Structure 1
């Protein structure tokens, strides 16, 4: 039987809490996924993810504080703000992929059918 009071178990729980503190919420993994392929401007992210600017700003600041996103201000007129993932964010790729796969599995289990293929995705 597993002893939840053991130092190993407590250490695992602490590590999981730390991870969830960084990636928790509805948006963080979606933002990191959207930034996976390219650098994206703030307004593009707002439109692409259908997220309010206020919420996106808060989430990006949190991701930046955790060294998962880099913010670059371009001295253009008007000023352009771009976001890109850091190398540290790439360490979350296996987790993002697992969440994506689990989402399809869960949909199939609950809906009793496979999620329809999105025609905008590449085969």
Structure 2
């Protein structure tokens, strides 16, 4: 059993969670980061891989860039090519992504067992 924590510690933890969810929360941001980590670098490639609308992808890419998770590179020429690359900072999410993936699989199996 967990021991009771103080209100101050609780508030600090909640603030940390708020900050994390602000940066990576929502339906798409972690999926975009994972797609980039797996080698998808072009807008349409990311869009097809995760099944997101162009408008929403554009918004989310801008937010991820503002938060330092990716960079946008414009390659001039004909045609102009825009690609996205994850930053070193994105690597700080590796343990979080691994933990979320493992928990998601565990949860899916739990639900499957309970419904059988």
TM-score (norm 1): 0.84
Q: Distance in 2 between matches of 1:42 and 1:81?
A: 7
Does 2:32 match 1:31? yes
Is it true that 1:100 corresponds to 2:86 in the alignment?
no
- Tell me the C-alpha RMSD between the 2 structures: 1.5
What is the aligned length?
111
Secondary structure of the equivalent of 2:37? coil
Correspondence 1:43 to 2:38:
no
Matches within 5 A, 1:1-123: 1-3=4-6, 5-6=7-8, 8-38=9-39, 40-112=41-113
Deviation at 1:39, TM superposition (A): 5.5
Q: Quick check: 10-19 or 51-60, which moved more?
A: 10-19
Q: Could you tell me how far apart the structure 2 residues matched to 1:24 and 1:99 are?
A: 12
Q: Which runs of 5+ in 2 are unaligned?
A: none
- State the shift of 1:85 in Å: 0.6
CA deviation after TM superposition for structure 1 residue 78, in Å: 2.0
Greater helix share, structure number: 2
Q: TM-score, normalised by structure 2?
A: 0.88
Return the alpha-carbon distance in structure 2 between the equivalents of residues 51 and 39 of structure 1: 14
SS of the aligned residue for 1:51 comes to coil
Distance 1:109 1:40 in 2: 35
Can you give the 5+ residue segments of structure 1 that lack an aligned partner in the other structure? 114-123
